[in-house]
Amino acid sequence: MFEIKTVRTYPDIYNECIEEAKQEQNNNARPSLSGTVADMGQYGKVFLCYPNWWGTLPMGVFTFLEAYDFSGKTMYPLVTHGGSRFGRSLEHIKKLCPRTALGEGLSVSAFDSNPNDSIRVSAPNRDVTAWLRKIGIAR
């Protein structure tokens, strides 16, 4: 497991965070990442989990996808969103990783609730489990 984390952290305050994300997108920025994957070649399947920021991937995810060769791999996108589902992110993944098979993805709305966690927003466990079963990863 690898966390795509930028060197510069985003603000904890929601409106400040999304404003910074919008500025990065407008500038077509490629923020530096704080780590690297030691041997991407060992993986045949990649689960790319990200939030939908302004209709697509966060710019740090662009940095990540441009840093590695995903040729011959299958990528499974999982996006969290506030109503726009995948937005343009799948198009952008295909453009950045043209020799990568794009497996069935899952979009999880921030407005979905987990019956065991009514206080904060989280991905419903049953939906993620069902998705993993459907794509043959879990039983």
DSSP string for residues in 70-90: -TT-EEEEEEEESS-TTTTHH
Architecture of domain 14-134: 3-Layer(aba) Sandwich (3.40)
Residue 47: Cβ within 10 Å count: 17
Structure tokens at 96: 């950045």
pLDDT(5) > 80: yes
Check residues 124 and 69 and name the one with the higher pLDDT.
69
- Mean pLDDT, to the nearest integer, of 38-46? 96
What is the predicted pLDDT for the residue at 120? 44
Q: Strand, helix or coil at 126?
A: helix
Q: Give the contacts of 25 (CB within 8 A, at least 6 positions apart).
A: 53, 54, 56, 59
pLDDT(121) > 50: no
What is the predicted pLDDT for the residue at 87? 96
Segment 86-112, tens digit of pLDDT? 999 999 999 999 999 999 999 988 776
Segment 54-88, tens digit of pLDDT? 999 999 999 999 999 999 999 999 998 888 899 99
Kindly report which listed range (33-37, 86-90, 94-98, 124-128) carries the lowest average pLDDT score: 124-128
Bridge partners of residue 79, in order along the sequence: 50, 107
- Mean pLDDT, to the nearest integer, of 123-133? 80
